[in-house]
Amino acid sequence: MKENQTQVTKGIAVIGLGFIGLPLALSFAMRGARVRGIDVLPELIEEINHGVSHHLEQYNGMTIRDILKEQLQTGQFRATTSYQEASQEVDTYIVTVGIPVANGAGNYSYIDSACSSIAKVLKKGDTVIIRSTVIPGTTEERIAPLLQEVSGLVPGEDFYLAYASERIAEGKAFEEFENMPLAMGGINEQSAQRVKEILTIVTRAEVTISNIKTVETAKVIENIQRDVNIAMVQEFAKFAQSFGIDTGELIKVANTHKRVNLLVPGPGVGGYCLPNAFYYLEPKATELGVSLNLLKRARDINDGVPNHIVTRVEKELGTLVGKKVAVLGLAMKDYSNDDRISPPIDIVKVLQERGAQVLAYDPAVVTEYSFKHSNLKDCIEQADAMLLLAMQEEFRHLNWAEVIQQMKPNAVVFDAKNVIAKDQISNHVTLLKI
């Protein structure tokens, strides 16, 4: 599916080779663009240049590892830590470096560093595209002045600058980079048109051009509306539990209404996007004197779900002190290896704080934890409780009746994924659902 894109761009540097940046870089490479991926982690660069990726992405029957190896072999893609090296081969820079949130405050240091490094090698006629989720106003109020100060070049006159929102769901990155409608804005009309031409090397869907501040804000509220929807169904789930009705059935029935689209409750809201979204909007709202009480309440509800789940398990066991608790799934969502801001990790911490001995198993998550074990049997055997918190492919094929038989009599099973049927457990086991 390669196409010759030499007339569109000399080459593209993608800054940040994580869950978004690497699939994006390979998406351009597959379509004939010369791509250089840049990251600050030498060990990550070495892995990638040896064809190793732990991401669980696929496209047209190929895994991301297959795609990576193919593009390395053709020379269309290579990774480096050197902006200077990459600048010799590219005229376009796409930034996917995030703004982490700690204690409700965004940390600009990573994106500032990336943009400063770009500015040091920026040439007249180059293009800079920001695809990170940012606090509204960041591109024009922070990044543009930084690029100009360090490079001595004027955005919109000497180089093109634009913001394009990233709307990708992990696990579907290649498909959605191609087919998800794109929203973007340029610092001027020339920048917008130039960047649209570059991004449509990959994107085949509709492109909406607006002003940068609107697109930045739209990206944030797209995530927040899902955060609020999930908080709402978490409240509905609490009602259903107390009322003695099945939460899944309740949502299924409500969603038969053509104008209702309730999401599914789970063990919390994780990942890099949704939990951070409110904290990207809040600083600008505070600056403008705008109250976001509903959005803040939704964030607090979702943050409180891990504690609520542990309390339910603790109530059934009487105490968690000294109890062996098996946790299945540590990823922030199903069929992912991403454990950033992961509710299952938060649940483990609460369990430990209340005295439980936690043994966790997730065949996809590569991060090492003191409580993480390499096989399911060690976790389940003679456990007082089991919490299924995130699905992985291996879990789909388990015989849950056989798994639960290895646990202690009168054990507690918490099924956050609604995959364990009542007829798969004995009468002596307590089954809890979301």
CA distance 93 to 50: 23
Displacement of CA 307 from its chain's centroid (Å): 22
Tell me which DSSP letter residue 154 carries.
P
Phi, psi for 318 (deg, rounded to 5): 90, -40
Using DSSP's 3-state secondary structure scheme, residue 360 falls into strand
Catalytic residues: 219, 273
Instruction: Identify the bridge partners of residue 93 per DSSP, sorted by sequence position.
Output: 13, 128
Q: Is the distance from CB of 305 to CB of 267 less than 8 angstroms?
A: yes
Phi, psi for 165 (deg, rounded to 5): -70, 145
Q: Is the distance from CB of 262 to CB of 254 less than 8 angstroms?
A: yes
Q: 324: which 2 tokens?
A: 């062996």
For residue 179, what are the CA distances in angstroms to 12, 59, 185? 20, 12, 19
Q: Residues near 132 by Cβ (< 8 Å), separated by ≥ 6?
A: 16, 95, 96, 97, 98, 99, 111, 166
Q: Is the distance from CB of 385 to CB of 323 less than 8 angstroms?
A: yes
Q: 113: which 2 tokens?
A: 């560093």
* Residue 374 CB neighbour total at 10 angstroms: 8
